[in-house]
Each structure stands twice: as structure tokens, then as C-alpha cells.
A and B are shown apart, each in its own frame.
Chain A
Amino acid sequence: MSLLDLREVHVAYASAAGPIPAVRGVNLSVERGEVLGIAGESGCGKSTLASTVLRLLPPSATASGQVLLDGSDVLTMSWGEIRTVRWAEAAIVFQGALHSLNPVQRVGEQIAEPLRLHRTTKGVRARVSELLQQVGLPESRAKAYPHQLSGGQRQRVMIAMALACAPDLIIADEPTTALDVMVQAQVLDLLTGLVRELDMALVLISHDLGVLGTTCDRIAVMYAGEIVEVGPGLSLFDHPRHPYTQALSGAFPRIGDPRARYAPIGLPGDPPYPGELGVGCAFHPRCPLAVADCLAEPVPLTDGVRCIRVDG
């Protein structure tokens, strides 16, 4: 049994003009010890999908399908059950560490908060020290306020919080986006090291296919709420098959590749408005390979690619 198993997950946000689909039938699973990447751009549904796993969606959203965490469906749990799952079985590290931390509370107290929520009373301080060490911060930093820490250190505090209750699954939503390349490398090293050391599973969400390609065992690429390609990390980044994945992969050039000199790769146009999707391929208005047939009927995910122009 997979640690996390998403089956036909749909999420829609209510609006005056009717429900707007954000996630449209996602099937994915994550094993213990695995690093899964979810790639996509703003509005593709990747953060909505992450929030669905812990039922952190706003009241305007409705989710359907199954989100099986260690076999039990998060979507049908009572609120009491969900509270026991959050932090203890699965935890999320959000993007903006500065906005996710309380500015007027010492970080040690904030790391202790999930422990206290889960009724740990003894040895909290020792556990906080241990967690700080695990994320590569000196114990003395427990007394610091968030503004006294650098961006990388704050992100480490967020990771320590996520680790506090020893969850089986960590979801990191753009954990390095606001960070410099060197600090990004430090944080990614830390996360992947912890996965191996603690035998957890990690879901890494990013718009940077390069980051995912070098850190993930498997990558799923999302566009307009659907998975358009899924495959092993290295080969998906190196040999993208779906035209959208190819554009994403080309957006961050390989330094040294003469083809990328003075030739940045982009895609004309913008992602579709989720309320106005047709039946066929959502990517076709921007696709260099589009033909009339792309619009005719829903395109299935065949052999890891959702495209009728790509041979399985």
C-alpha cells in the first residue's frame, strides 16, 4: 500500500459564475522513501492539490475523489481525525517562510507548537534542540525571532516545525523559490537527506523543472488542473515528451548549451482561464504541435503522457 494515494481527485472553487475547476481528476501515489515532484506554473492547481491532502482548502472549495493517507481517506475524516493526522502523519512546508512564521514569537516556541498540540508535555525543549540540530541550526537559535534570521534559516525553521511530530509525509510547496541558488541547494540537500535518514516521503512542488529533475525520483507535470506528464525525474527533465514539459524544461537553460545562447525559450500566450476549458487538450492554444483533433475529445494519460501527438 502506498503512503499517499490520490484517486480521481477533483477540486473546484465556488464563484458567482458557477464552480471553477482547479484540479481535474488527478491520480498519483507516493511511496515511503520516495521524493515526488509536482511541476507547474501559477494557477495549474498544484498548491490546491497540496492543500487537499491535509484538507486545508478554503470553505469555497469542494473536493471529490479519494485522498488515501496510509489507507484512510482524508476527505471523509471527521475534524477530530484530521487534527490527529496534521503534523503527526503529514506536514506542509509553505513557500513564504516570513509570512508563515509568527513575527512576535521566538522560533523555538513555534517549533514546539505542533508538539504541544499533540499533547507532548515532557522533553519538549530537548526535542526542539534536536530538531534545530537536524536542520543544521545551532540550538541557541531557538531564542531568535524570525526577523533575526536569514531567509534560508527561516526556511530551516519551517522544516524543523514540519519534522516535529515525526510525520511520514512532508509536502513542501515551493520551499526554495524565494531563496538564492546557494541557499536553495542547502535547503534541497537538507530535505532530501532527511527523507533518506528518516524514511519519510517528500512531495516537492515547484515551477522549476531543473530543481525537481535533480532532486526527485519521479515528477508529475500539471497544466490546467491535470497531470500532462509523469515519469522518472531524470529522464523527464532530460527527455521531456509532452510539448508543455518541453517548454518548461527549456525555460531554464542548461548553461553551456550553445543552442540556448541568445535564444531563450518561452511559450506565447497565457494559461487558460479554468472556467473556460473545452473538452479537448487544455494546452492546445499554446501548443506548437496542435492539430484539429486535439480539441475533439478528452485526451487520456497514456503511458505517462497526455498528448495525441506523442507516441507512447
Chain B
Amino acid sequence: MILSVRDLMVRFGQVRAVDGVDLDLDAGEIVALVGESGCGKTTLARSLLGLVAPTRGQINFDGQPLDYRRLKPFRRQVQLILQDPLGALNPRHTVYDAVAEGIRIHRVPGNEEERVADALSRAGLRPAERFFLRYPHELSGGQRQRVVIAGALVLSPRVLVADEPVSSLDASVRGEILGLLLRLRAELGLSVLVVTHDLGLAWNIADRVAVMYLGRIVECGPTAEVLNAPRHPYTQALLSVVPDVGRTRQQVLAGEPPDPANIPSGCRFHPRCPVVMPACATAVLPVLPVLDLQAPHQSACLRT
């Protein structure tokens, strides 16, 4: 297990952004962390990168607990890819400088130019030398995202954390970038945690899916099982509103997720749940345990 999270809790004052999460990421595995804005998925991803210190719980990398006083070697191994490549790239840095920055920060020995060229061509920008002196504004959206990915690859990381990696890209480019993530996994054995609200993306590339609601994982399991036969009413509702012709009736939930500073008692989904029972308002649901890869999927619902 390359990354594992146990009983993770991240609080900002009264806000319980991540409220008890167990999650594993295996070597060479692609896991999609799915949920709506405000569900805590980005906070969870940030704490996996050591950007936010957890209030409680533990994060293990390669069997070792994360040492918050010595994060630099860890950060080299776990790289972040952000949603908006135009925002992630310095407009006054060339592609070469943007990709080489990580090597310089981590003082990686060896030929810098070779490493940059290798990372760019792995990210699909070929011939790499032609892109060295370009600026972000001269590139298309898809090319910019490839530069961001090359900047992560140049450090030979073992894990990529990608936060909405394609949501700002055009539809026709989206598939190309997702294909790139699959190829990197196959060629380099990278593990990828994709944070997204897009269930289609999960269906496209993820081995496992974890669905998050209001700080907790409410359903988790192999992608095909969770998305073909969702068990938690929240996952069922999310799936029913994905635009798709011929799908069963939509289950549009009213309102929006409650304030994470004021999480409902019992099952946290019960105020919006279409199949709520009286017991749901008071029942204490345990944190979903971590499953090994072969096990069937689990959902945190009294009915299942």
C-alpha cells in the first residue's frame, strides 16, 4: 500500500471538512474520489500532500507515517496536478522553466535538459525541444495541462494527486488527457488519486471509486460495481442525474449539502435522503472500513 489514511479528520474551526476517513491507494492503482463541492474531497487530497495537517488520524506513505517536519522527500514522491493549468503556470515562465522548477527545488542531480525533455515527451509534447521556449499563453488548454503534468513527472514521483484534471478542458481534449493518465500508469506504474465530481471520468479510468458526502466516504468499491449497482442512496441520486439518454428516472435531490460546521446527527445524509427511515436520524454509522481490492463494495447506509 503506497498511501493509506486512517481515521483522518481535518477541522477548520467549527467546520469538519474531513470527518473520519479511511482510504488506501495501492501501487499502480487509480482511485477516483468523487463528490460535490464542499464535501471535503479537496481537503482530503491536500492533507494527503502534506499541505494541511490533519486534526486527528494518520497518513502513511510506504508504510511510514508522514513526518510533518521533513516533508520535502515525501513531496518529491507525491505530486499534485491542479484543475486550471492557466492558473497553475506562471505566465512569465517558459515551458522549460516551469518543468525544471521542481528539479531545481529538489536539487536533483544529473542532466536537467534531458530530464525536462523526457518529462515533456512522456506528457505527450513531442518533439519536446520545440516547446522549451514557449510561454503558457502560446499553448492550447490541453497542451498547458500536459506541461503541468510534465512538471509533476520530472521528479519521477510514485503518486499523482489530480484535482479535477480535465474539468477546465474542452470535451475533445478531455479524453486525450485521461488517456495520458492511463498510459503513465501502464508505463511508469504510477498511482493516481483523481479528485473529481465527474462520474464519467471515474468510469473512464478509475479502478476504484470512493464517494464522499459531507466529510465522510459513504460508498467505496471497484468502479464497475459502485457505478453499475450503487447501494448508497446518495450515490444512486448522483448517478441518476448524470446526463444520459435512456437512463432510469432522475432522482433530483432538493437543496444543497448542509453546512459542514453543522453536520446532521445520525446518518449525515438523512435530511436529503429519498428513502429515509426514522432510525436514520439517530443511528451512529461507523467510518467505512478499508476493503481489500477483491472484496465487494460497501456503503454506509442503514438500509444496505
Which positions in A face B, CB cutoff 8 Å? 41-42, 150-152, 180-186, 189, 207-211, 213-215, 234, 237-238, 244, 247-248, 250-257, 260-268, 270-271, 286
B203: chain A residues at CB < 8 Å are: 253, 255-257, 260-261
Contact of B172 among A257, A261, A262, A266 (CB under 8 A): A266
Which positions in B face A, CB cutoff 8 Å? 36-37, 140-143, 170-179, 182, 197-200, 203-205, 223-224, 227-228, 237-239, 241-246, 250, 252-254, 256
CB distance from B269 to the nearest CB of A (A): 12
Q: Are B175 and A261 in contact (CB under 8 A)?
A: no
Contact of B250 among A185, A209, A211, A263 (CB under 8 A): A185
CB distance from B32 to the nearest CB of A (A): 12
Q: Are B243 and A180 in contact (CB under 8 A)?
A: no
Q: Are B171 and A185 in contact (CB under 8 A)?
A: no
Q: Are B204 and A150 in contact (CB under 8 A)?
A: no
B199: chain A residues at CB < 8 Å are: 181, 255
CB-CB nearest 9 A-B residue pairs: A266-B175, A210-B243, A266-B176, A264-B178, A185-B241, A251-B171, A267-B172, A264-B175, A41-B170
B172: chain A residues at CB < 8 Å are: 41, 244, 247-248, 251, 266-267, 286
**How far does the alpha carbon of A271 sit from the alpha carbon of B171 in the complex, in Å?**
12
Q: Are B182 and A266 in contact (CB under 8 A)?
A: no
CB distance from A276 to the nearest CB of B (A): 14
Contact of A266 among B173, B198, B239 (CB under 8 A): B173
Contact of B36 among A182, A207, A213, A234 (CB under 8 A): A182
Q: Are A254 and B244 in contact (CB under 8 A)?
A: yes
Q: Are B176 and A255 in contact (CB under 8 A)?
A: no
B143: chain A residues at CB < 8 Å are: 270
**How far does the alpha carbon of A103 sit from the alpha carbon of B302 in the complex, in Å?**
43
Q: Which residue of B lies closest to A270 (CB)?
A: B140
Q: Which residue of A lies closest to B223 (CB)?
A: A261
**How far does the alpha carbon of A256 sit from the alpha carbon of B224 in the complex, in Å?**
7
CB distance from B88 to the nearest CB of A (A): 18
Contact of A181 among B171, B176, B238, B256 (CB under 8 A): B238
Q: Are A256 and B228 in contact (CB under 8 A)?
A: yes
Q: Which residue of A lies closest to B241 (CB)?
A: A185
**How far does the alpha carbon of A260 sit from the alpha carbon of B179 in the complex, in Å?**
11
Q: Are A182 and B237 in contact (CB under 8 A)?
A: yes
Contact of A211 among B36, B243, B254 (CB under 8 A): B243
B177: chain A residues at CB < 8 Å are: 266
Q: Are B205 and A264 in contact (CB under 8 A)?
A: yes
Known A-B contacts A181-B197, A208-B243, A270-B140; A251 and B174 likewise in contact (beta carbons under 8 Å)? yes
Which one of A185, A247, A261 has the highest number of Cβ atoms from chain B below 10 Å of its Cβ? A185
A152: chain B residues at CB < 8 Å are: 256
Contact of B243 among A151, A214, A264, A265 (CB under 8 A): A214
Q: Are B245 and A207 in contact (CB under 8 A)?
A: no
**How far does the alpha carbon of A132 sit from the alpha carbon of B237 in the complex, in Å?**
26
Q: Are B243 and A255 in contact (CB under 8 A)?
A: no
**How far does the alpha carbon of A244 sit from the alpha carbon of B170 in the complex, in Å?**
13
Q: Are A238 and B245 in contact (CB under 8 A)?
A: yes
17 CB-based A-B contacts, threshold 8 Å: A151-B37, A181-B197, A181-B238, A181-B242, A209-B171, A210-B242, A247-B172, A251-B172, A251-B174, A253-B204, A255-B242, A255-B244, A260-B204, A264-B174, A264-B204, A266-B172, A266-B175
Q: Are B200 and A262 in contact (CB under 8 A)?
A: no
Q: Are A255 and B252 in contact (CB under 8 A)?
A: no
A211: chain B residues at CB < 8 Å are: 243
Q: Are A182 and B252 in contact (CB under 8 A)?
A: yes
Known A-B contacts A182-B238, A185-B241; A42 and B141 likewise in contact (beta carbons under 8 Å)? yes
CB distance from A98 to the nearest CB of B (A): 13
Which one of B170, B172, B224 has the highest number of Cβ atoms from chain A below 10 Å of its Cβ? B172
**How far does the alpha carbon of A207 sit from the alpha carbon of B167 in the complex, in Å?**
11
Q: Are B252 and A264 in contact (CB under 8 A)?
A: no
B171: chain A residues at CB < 8 Å are: 41, 207-209, 247-248, 251-252
**How far does the alpha carbon of A244 sit from the alpha carbon of B36 in the complex, in Å?**
30
CB distance from A5 to the nearest CB of B (A): 28
